[in-house]
Structure 1
């Protein structure tokens, strides 16, 4: 009887852990998002430039303003999702705007996939 209760306890704990840990489509564990301390790092800036080039609209890249990183699989994995706040301008609109891009990078190598790219709209302040 004691063995049965131990098996039930372990199975319950496993189910709770599985439910608490988000996963990607291919069932990978995702860590919490962490702020990148130095978004001016050349690697982060190159990711931002790459995201602007890949988004399908001709744009002029200015800089990555801020960034967050999320490990995929486990904390020591070198595979990451990066959320980048990018300052860029479209060719038609010379005034720079802010854009949010999410880039999936495997093993700190070339960007693997542009997950999303969208303009960040600022709320209007009506007086």
Structure 2
């Protein structure tokens, strides 16, 4: 597996995180509950999903030196590598891409299998 150069990594990472952010915002808006179960916020290139019911959060961080996106969620660290074949950041262990993995983690955190990330 070849490592992306820094410029390409930053471009792909920025696009992946922006796409994820937009999907999370849409999921917030489509929430069936009157109370939105989570809030998405971005600061200095780091994406946070904060859960209202318990104050916990998921943190999505670009890690440029190793060309990965790191997710801290459910007391676990997930490290996603760029997959040229999938044209996406994926979790090697499961093959899930960033959006699929995030959707699964949200469902687990909230106990709600109806959550989908468009």
TM-score higher than 0.5: no
After TM superposition, the score normalised by the length of structure 2 is 0.27
After TM superposition, the score normalised by the length of structure 1 is 0.26
For the pair shown, the structure with the greater C-alpha radius of gyration is: 1
